[in-house]
Chain A
Amino acid sequence: MMDWLAALTAITQREALRFIGQRGRFVAALVRPMLWLVVFAAGFRAALGLSITPPYATYTTYEVYIVPGLCGMILLFNGMQSSLSMVYDREMGSMRLLLTSPLPRWWLLVCRLLASTAISILQVYVFLGLAALFGIRFSWGGYAALLPALVPAGLMLGALGLALSSVIRQLENFAGVMNFVIFPMFFLSTALYPLWKMAESSALLRDICAVNPFSQAVELIRFALYQQLNAAALAWVLLSGLVWLGLAVWGYDPERGLIRKAGKPG
């Protein structure tokens, strides 16, 4: 058991040290949501009226509405980037090194997932700190209640990245993942517009948004910021997270998985 914890600690430390070393990645991860908050949301404020729906008890400005979605965006980008980076050319080597550890493979994958989620959560709090400087603040209780919501949400999105990294052959191009995974997940969710707003344009669109696990992660975060538990969202996040983790473990299983397809024949 001590071996298992030693591996978890080492993998988390490595992720943290690498992250600190890559300041560009840190800045990019913060600039993206800040642009949405300061530029996009400010412009949209006048165009979009929001009605009072839970968890909001009073009229809410668009900047406040969009914050949970942007927290989710950080988790989504980071989860994808960290997991997919494992199969980039140079990273493939370090992934192979990881897989030669005598610990169970599923545990090694879970360690990677926990480590990258910890880094994502740190970024979310830095983002919330910056947002507070722009006057978008939540209660201290909300910030505290957010933490237990970010953990399953981050793990779920990281697991998605991990599952994708095991089954997709060509990953040199992050743009492909942006176009086919990140953008659809982000735009077809409640990150930018509430469900009822989506329903005004199309019932189908609303249904897609409702079942999108990213929506559920965003709603879990949104309710947590107001110290409320959205149990349905939590259940949906946990369920989809387990499915993706299962897929990832299957994908990296040397007997059945598809990792060999990502490997270089020769």
Chain B
Amino acid sequence: MTGLRVENLSYAYGARQALDRVSFRVEPGTFCALLGPNGAGKSTLFALLTRLFAAPQGRIGIAGHDMARAPRQALRQMGVVFQQPTLDLDLTVQCNLSYFAALHGLRGARAQARIEAALERLEMRGRLGERVRDLNGGHRRRLEIARSLIHHPKVLLLDEPTVGLDAATRRAITAHVHDLSRRKGLTVLWATHLTDEIDDADQLLILHRGRLTEDGTARQLRGGLGLADHFLRLTGEAA
């Protein structure tokens, strides 16, 4: 069992059901977009997938490891880019990445080689000594993506990673992650509410009011409509 598996996942905040029996699979090498309006349950799903808290019902499998039974193995195979920035602005790019590498048990020359390779892929190697505060928003995001790949995860989770970025940067980052999934066989789950970040060939999940209403390729699901129109018709809300 590889890739990302979610089976029958439910979660409630008191009386409010945030997720209701959500099940899906994302195979290796697939870019899967998770589309949902605000309040659809995306953040809750990400909190469960990253083990911020655990669901009383349902199962999560990361590259073959069950999150409840073997959380440490599952986390080892997972890279995450959170919606909120998680970089230390006053520390250098190097310090930020070394810190993360150490949290994943990587030290010394091995860590350094991985850090430089990850930055190289995102064309940021020259910025190793810069303070994060001095980087622009796009570079900070790219840095967070580079960081999430240092420990060579098999599954990459990104929670609205392009929020607040300009159109050109958004396009570049989206294209890069698409490329990663294709060339490296990475399983990607990309949460968004922006339909233009999704290619026709991508797997698409639509989450609405805590339920998974659609699962298929974007091309199949949208039919003859534009994706934005399809989404709007389905959820009755602006994408």
Q: Which of A9-17, A41-49, A127-135, A232-240 contacts B (4 or more CB under 8 A)?
A: A9-17
Contacts A260-B53, A265-B18: A102 and B104 contacting too (C-beta < 8 A)? Answer: yes
Contact with B along A59-98 (1 / 0, CB 8 A): 0000000000000000000000000000001101110111
**CB-defined contacts of A97 to chain B, threshold 8 Å:** 80, 82, 86, 100, 103
Q: Which residue of B lies closest to A108 (CB)?
A: B103
Which of B90, B102, B104 lies in contact with A9, CB distance below 8 A?
B102
**Which of A178-186, A204-212, A251-259 has 4 or more CB atoms under 8 Å from chain B?**
A251-259
Chain A neighbourhood of B18, CB < 8 A: 265-266
Interface string of A92-111 (1 = CB under 8 A from B): 11101111111110001000
Q: Are A94 and B86 in contact (CB under 8 A)?
A: yes
Contact partner of B43 (CB less than 8 A), chosen from A103, A254, A264, is: A264
Contacts of B91 in A (CB 8 A): 14, 17-18, 21
Instruction: Give the complex CA separation of A24 and B8 in angstroms.
Output: 50
A254 to B105, CA, bound (A): 22
Nearest Cβ on chain B to A15's Cβ, whole angstroms? 10
Check if A175 is an interface residue, CB within 8 A of chain B. no
Chain B residue total in the interface (Cβ 8 A): 41
A18: chain B residues at CB < 8 Å are 88, 90-91
CA distance A208 to B38 in the complex (A): 49
Contacts of B51 in A (CB 8 A): 99-100, 254
Those of B20-79 within 8 Å (CB) of chain A: 38-44, 47, 50-54, 71-73, 75-76, 78
Which residues of A are in contact with B by a Cβ distance under 8 Å? Answer: 2-3, 6-7, 9-11, 13-14, 17-18, 21-22, 89-90, 92-94, 96-104, 108, 254-255, 257, 259-260, 263-266
In the complex, 30 of the A-B residue pairs with CB atoms within 8 angstroms, ordered by the A residue number, are A2-B107, A7-B102, A9-B102, A10-B99, A11-B102, A14-B91, A14-B95, A17-B88, A17-B95, A18-B88, A21-B91, A90-B84, A93-B85, A94-B86, A96-B86, A97-B80, A99-B51, A99-B52, A100-B80, A101-B103, A102-B72, A103-B103, A104-B72, A254-B51, A254-B52, A263-B43, A263-B47, A263-B52, A265-B18, A266-B38
